[in-house]
Each structure stands twice: as structure tokens, then as C-alpha cells.
Structure 1
Amino acid sequence: MGKAFLVLVAIILMTYCLFDLRATPRDRVQHLPKWGWAVLIVLAPYAGALLWMVFGVAKGRAGGSPRPGPRRPLGPDDDPDFLRGL
């Protein structure tokens, strides 16, 4: 039972990391090319997956601060469209 659980966890972790690798843009992948990370994840499922999650993907943007989103009204009384309808 314990071995089956470890194999199942390895398969799930490997599948998640491979899909994450596939969805990650090439310019955000660090230290290895995408094919190198895929080989590492498949050949060493636990170590490769953990290395991918910690070191493989660049976190955030190059500037270091998150991109500001569009400013939205905080409440109905701050919304010009709502106030126009009163």
C-alpha cells in the first residue's frame, strides 16, 4: 500500500510539473532549456519536480514589482457611471 501511494504521488507530481513546464513561456524558464527540465522531471520525478518548482520558473517580473491593474471604483459612490444614473 505504501509503495503504491509513493508511485501515485510521483506520477501526479510529474504530470503537474510537465503540464506547468509546457504552459510556461520560454523566456521565464531558468537554468535549463525546456527539454532539459522535461528530461530531469521524467528521470528523477521527485527531485526533478521539486527543482522545477523552486528554481525552474522566474518569479514575478524583471522590475520586481507586480504590474498595476486597472483602477476600479471601491464602492458604488465612487463609480461615476452609478452616480450618473442617480
Structure 2
Amino acid sequence: MLRYLPLLIAVAVTLYALIDCARTEQEAIRGLPKWGWLLIIIFIGTFGAIAYLIWGRQRRQGPGRGRNGKVIGPDDDPDFLRNL
């Protein structure tokens, strides 16, 4: 059973990247056009999926992060202050 685990993980990562790329807006994808990343994921498989997850996805900004990605306090965050 454990000998199939790497294959299962590879398939799961590839499917996740394929679905994530297909559902993401074109403006949120970096590096290549959306169709280019989809072709890379399909034809290269797991390595293409890992490449998309590292270089193709736009970094998501979480709460408390400024425009340049640094963590800032709520009293310095213009988005937070605008919502008060």
C-alpha cells in the first residue's frame, strides 16, 4: 500500500494545480498566460504542477499585509482604517 503513496501524492498535486489554474482569473496568474500554464501542467505533469504552484500563482495577501507583502499593524493598514 505504501508503494502507491508517491503516485497518489503526485496525482493529487497535479489535479490540484490543474483545477486551481483553470479556476483562477487570468489577471491573477504570473509568468505565462493561463492556457500556457494549463498545457505545462497537462504535458509535464507533477513537475509542471509544482512549477505553476511556485511561479505561476500570485501570492495571496492575507490580513495584516501591506501592498508590498510586509506585515503591518492595523493602525498602519490603510485598508483596515478605511473600513472603520
TM-score greater than 0.5 by the shorter chain:
yes
Unaligned 5+ residue runs, structure 1?
A: 72-86
Distance in 2 separating the partners of 1:17 and 1:25 = 14
Residue 14 of structure 1 aligns with which residue? 14
- Runs of 4+ aligned structure 1 residues displaced above 6 Å come to none
Partner of 2:32, secondary structure, is coil
Matched, 1:68 2:79: yes
**What TM-score do the two structures reach when normalised by structure 2?**
0.64
Q: Over aligned residues, Cα RMSD in angstroms?
A: 2.3
Equivalent residue pairs, number: 69
Distance in 2 separating the partners of 1:58 and 1:12 = 21
Correspondence list, 1:4-83, <5 A: 4-60=4-60, 63-64=67-68, 68-69=79-80, 70-71=83-84
Unaligned 5+ residue runs, structure 2?
A: 62-66, 70-76
**What TM-score do the two structures reach when normalised by structure 1?**
0.63
Partner of 2:36, secondary structure, is helix
Query: CA 1:47–1:27 in structure 2 vs 1: closer, same or farther (change >3 Å)?
Result: same
Aligned identity (percent) is 25
User: Which one-letter code corresponds to 1:18 in the other structure?
Assistant: L
User: Which one-letter code corresponds to 2:27 in the other structure?
Assistant: D
Give the superposition deviation at 1:67.
7.2
**Which is greater in Rg?**
1
